[in-house]
Structure 1
Amino acid sequence: MIDGQQGNGSRKNRSIEDSDVDWTVFVSYVKPQTEGKKCGNMSTYLETVKRSFVDVPTQPGVDTVAFLEATEGLIKMFDLLGNSAFVVVQNDMNGNVKKIRTRYEAFPEQFKTLEDLVKHESTEKKRTATEGLLWLLRGLKFTQIALSRSQANKTEELNVSFDAAYTNTLKPYHSFVVKPVFVLAMKACPYRKDFYAKLGPPGSDVDGQLQAWLNALEKVITQLEAFYAAGNYAKGM
């Protein structure tokens, strides 16, 4: 999600700190918002996306195109949170999607799966797509854990679920500059009832669809994390 590492001499939060965002102005305008557009008719949000993670093939590897399409659907879901703070998150995730897609489109026949793409790039000095996927996985895991916790705790507000997920996923990789921005974003989450109303209208199977979507997303994340670990592909990133 947000590219950065801590430690002297290491790269820190390039996606955020190298941007043109005036953080003083940005932070001053972050505030909770609960107004927003709901899905029209009886369709749930997950019925409107181009592809669900449920429909992403994972054998013989994670299908590159399907994964990117499903990820774009997840990124757009942040719009339902109705808060400007998450625009930064969306932009960063979209940037990592672009890195992967650019690499894929250069050799589509060779990079049909994400595993093939990363393996091929491992022999090169500059591994832009590999790094982009690594950070994208961290962002996806943050979202998956936050929403899974919300599903399991029906009375817990989103700010609690997202804050706990941030602490256990992205926070260890963020510098002191970025951490306050994300902490503020977590506090600015809308009320749970408002978010779920935007996910789907009364009478829809939004809970069942969301749970299936989260289970499939977790499967993809687990598979790719194991792949990165086995090949030591995150080394130096």
Structure 2
Amino acid sequence: MSTTWFDSLKKSFADVPVGADNTISTTEFLDASESLATLFDVLGSKAFTPVKSDLLGNVKKLRDRQLAAPTESETVQALSLNELKAKKHTASEGLLWLVRGLDFTVQSLRRHVNTPTEKLSDSFRGAYGSSLGKHHSWAMGKVFSLAMGAAPDNESFYKSLASVPAGGSVSEEDKTKIQEQLTREVQALENIVAILQKFQEQPEAKW
């Protein structure tokens, strides 16, 4: 059985601690977000570079705040609320866009999990329309549209996830493993995105 992309992640969303009160550990959340951003390298096109850069740029805003006020930033929610109390919102705005980017990514992957015969590019397009597309300018929409059109076919996607060399094929064993790991990651990320979206709807989380 091959070592997959999921096995190489610094942190999986499935391993991000979520407290009984739905608080999310900041360091692990940011590590998992950075790890997920490497998925856009797996997709194999430079057209995805702006998508990856957008995610990582917002991660950096949260990391900068965490470094500036570590004792006030142990959880994602505390980081945002304490920043807002200081009459600042750089990291909180970064969190807003990071969650939107994660929502787009997980909706795309959910579509693939539920309908594995759908073209990956169609999964991304469908998810974009119901997530990031509602918040982007026309120009940014064109950038993302270009990236989604460059998505590989499903077989090539699995080859990349399984690190299969050129000319090789994905074994059924590896395909099953990838599907199980993908489903696990999607379920965990959906839960975290839902928690943070609900948090961001609260009056005290707005600026």
Q: When the two structures are superposed, what TM-score results if normalisation uses the length of structure 1?
A: 0.79
Residue identity over aligned pairs, in percent, reads 39
Look up the SS of the partner of 2:91 in the other structure.
Answer: helix
The residue aligned with 1:213 is: 185
The residue aligned with 1:189 is: 151
Look up the SS of the partner of 1:159 in the other structure.
Answer: helix
The residue aligned with 1:47 is: 7
Contact kept? 1:52, 1:213, Cα under 8 Å: yes
Aligned AA for 2:181?
A: Q
Tell me, in whole angstroms, the C-alpha distance in 1 between the residues paired with 2:7 and 2:61: 27
The residue aligned with 1:103 is: 65
The alpha carbon displacement at 1:232 in A equals: 5.1
Look up the SS of the partner of 2:45 in the other structure.
Answer: coil
1:60-91 deviations in Å (ceiling 9; x for gaps)? 41000000111111001110111111101111
Tell me, in whole angstroms, the C-alpha distance in 2 between the residues paired with 1:48 and 1:122: 35
Q: How does 1:118-133 map to 2 (within 5 A)?
A: 118-133=80-95
Contact kept? 2:72, 2:79, Cα under 8 Å: yes
Contact kept? 2:51, 2:144, Cα under 8 Å: no
Tell me, in whole angstroms, the C-alpha distance in 1 between the residues paired with 2:61 and 2:4: 30
Q: When the two structures are superposed, what TM-score results if normalisation uses the length of structure 2?
A: 0.90
Tell me, in whole angstroms, the C-alpha distance in 1 between the residues paired with 2:64 and 2:34: 15
The alpha carbon displacement at 1:168 in A equals: 0.5
User: Aligned pair 1:156/2:87, yes or no?
Assistant: no
Give the superposed CA RMSD: 1.4
The alpha carbon displacement at 1:183 in A equals: 1.5
Contact kept? 1:134, 1:234, Cα under 8 Å: no
Aligned AA for 1:221?
A: V
Q: Per chain length, whose mean CA-contact separation is higher, i.e. which structure has more relative contact order (CA < 8 Å, sep 6+)?
A: 1
Q: How does 1:1-237 map to 2 (within 5 A)?
A: 42-59=2-19, 60=21, 61-200=23-162, 201-202=170-171, 203-204=173-174, 205-231=177-203, 233-235=205-207
Aligned AA for 1:233?
A: A
Identify, as 1 or 2, the structure richer in helix.
Answer: 2
1:84-106 deviations in Å (ceiling 9; x for gaps)? 11101111111111110010012
More off after superposition, 94-103 vs 183-192? 183-192
Aligned residues: 195
Tell me, in whole angstroms, the C-alpha distance in 2 between the residues paired with 1:151 and 1:168: 17
Tell me, in whole angstroms, the C-alpha distance in 2 between the residues paired with 1:116 and 1:219: 18
Aligned AA for 1:79?
A: D
Gaps of 5+ in 2: 163-169
Look up the SS of the partner of 1:178 in the other structure.
Answer: helix
